[in-house]
Amino acid sequence: MEALLKRYDLDRLAVATIASHTALQILRAAKGRGFRTLAVARPSSAWFYRRFQFIDEVWEADLSNFRPVAERLAENNAVLIPHGSYVEYVGWRQALEAPVPTFGVRRLVEIEADQYRKMDLLRRAGIPTPRSYSPDEVDGPVIVKLFGAKGGRGYFFAKNREELLERLKGVNEPHIIQEYVFGVPAYYHYFASPIYGRVELFGMDVRYESNVDGRTFGLAEPTFVVVANFPLVLRESLLPAVQKYGEAFADAVREALGEEMKGPYSLESIIRDDLSIVVFEFSGRIVAGTNVYMGVGSPYSVLYFDRPMDMGERIAHELELARDRGRLEDVVS
């Protein structure tokens, strides 16, 4: 990436992302900070992104063959901001190899794709996680996660070992069996800044999920398809633990990958009634829940800056400082 960045015309630095997920938030903020903005869209949704003046160019592309798109982005001096839909449309293998500077730590997409490695990294950080079991060890309610599960489908529950063994009969795919943790979900948004040398607790959200939050009256199987997000603030007494886990995650990434954590990421948790926090997932890039603060900024962002910022603005701010200080290679991979 360093060699690629050397060829960049920094006066024409562009911010690019895939037109979905958090693209509006990212590109609105980038334009506001004076960057050129590029959206790479699937043909079905390109028209929507053309409605917005803060997007300079909307390209239509076949994302299943990403290399030529990445090459064209690099020719356009673009830094790519990865998000959940990017990883989903392009696939982690292509994302890992795309020849374009990518904001954050791109090797995390490979770890995220594997439930075992994902949980391993969290445990390595010393963050409390749900117990994992083999079927014989199960002594209470469990959630079973199929590796191929997408968008909140493909999980199921069992009340006890007997029910689990019965339900596992039809399952041939790789999966993990996890303790079902009782409590409320809370998703934390962090930003690791190489420029300021700190991890910022930037915001949090809770998801609105179709068949668990919907009016199903116990008639439908629970699914976790995310439809929307709500903003969230926590009891202040919980914040030190949330900050500690965020920093521990960044330390674990450095230890495991030999690379500084950088950019937005998220820890996804359940908080029990004894106020203990159990983290069942991480996302090594911007999460869609940050959209709840688009244009208004999160309440936690004012603790670091003298005005509210959304995560898109935070990314653009870091990029701007990195460019001006000759440190772009510290914020991309």
Binder of ligand AMP out of 280, 282, 293, 300 (CB under 6 A):
280
- Which stretch, 44-52, 173-181, 230-238, 299-307, contacts ligand AMP (CB under 6 A)? 173-181
Q: Shortest approach of ligand AMP to residue 257 CB, angstroms?
A: 22
Q: Shortest approach of ligand AMP to residue 76 CB, angstroms?
A: 34
Q: Read off φ and ψ for residue 78, nearest 5 degrees.
A: -100, 145
Q: Shortest approach of ligand AMP to residue 66 CB, angstroms?
A: 24
Q: How far apart are CA 224 and CA 47, in angstroms?
A: 29
Q: Which residues of 90-104 are buried (b: 16+ CB within 10 A; e: fewer)?
A: bebebbbebebbbbb
Q: Using the rule CB under 6 A, is 152 a contact of ligand AMP?
A: yes
Q: Using the rule CB under 6 A, is 190 a contact of ligand AMP?
A: no
Strand order in the sheet with 36-41: 57-60, 36-41, 14-18, 78-80
Q: Using the rule CB under 6 A, is 194 a contact of ligand AMP?
A: no
Binder of ligand AMP out of 73, 143, 201, 253 (CB under 6 A):
143
Q: Shortest approach of ligand AMP to residue 121 CB, angstroms?
A: 15
DSSP code, position 147: T
Q: Using the rule CB under 6 A, is 128 a contact of ligand AMP?
A: no
Angle, alpha carbons 59-151-126 (nearest 5°) = 110
Binder of ligand AMP out of 130, 246, 289, 312 (CB under 6 A):
130
- Among the listed residues 172, 185, 196, 188, the one whose alpha carbon sits nearest the alpha carbon of residue 262: 196
Q: Where are the beta strands (DSSP E) in the chain?
A: 14-18, 36-41, 57-60, 78-80, 132-133, 142-146, 155-158, 175-179, 184-193, 198-209, 226-231, 263-271, 277-283
Q: Using the rule CB under 6 A, is 181 a contact of ligand AMP?
A: yes
Residues 224-263 that bind ligand AMP (CB under 6 A): 224
Q: Shortest approach of ligand AMP to residue 278 CB, angstroms?
A: 7
Q: Using the rule CB under 6 A, is 281 a contact of ligand AMP?
A: yes
Residue in the block written with tokens 């709840």: 292
Helix, strand, coil abundance in the chain, percent, nearest 5: 35, 25, 40
Q: Shortest approach of ligand AMP to residue 127 CB, angstroms?
A: 13
- Which stretch, 34-42, 81-89, 175-183, 314-322, contacts ligand AMP (CB under 6 A)? 175-183
Q: Using the rule CB under 6 A, is 268 a contact of ligand AMP?
A: yes
Q: Using the rule CB under 6 A, is 154 a contact of ligand AMP?
A: no
- Among the listed residues 109, 150, 90, the one whose alpha carbon sits nearest the alpha carbon of residue 263: 109
Q: Using the rule CB under 6 A, is 289 a contact of ligand AMP?
A: no
Strand order in the sheet with 198-209: 226-231, 198-209, 184-193, 263-271, 277-283
Q: Using the rule CB under 6 A, is 308 a contact of ligand AMP?
A: no
Interface with ligand AMP: number of residues (CB under 6 A)? 14
Reading the block at residue 60, the tokens are 């239509």
The residues binding ligand AMP (CB under 6 A) are: 130, 143, 152, 178-181, 185, 207, 224, 268, 270, 280-281
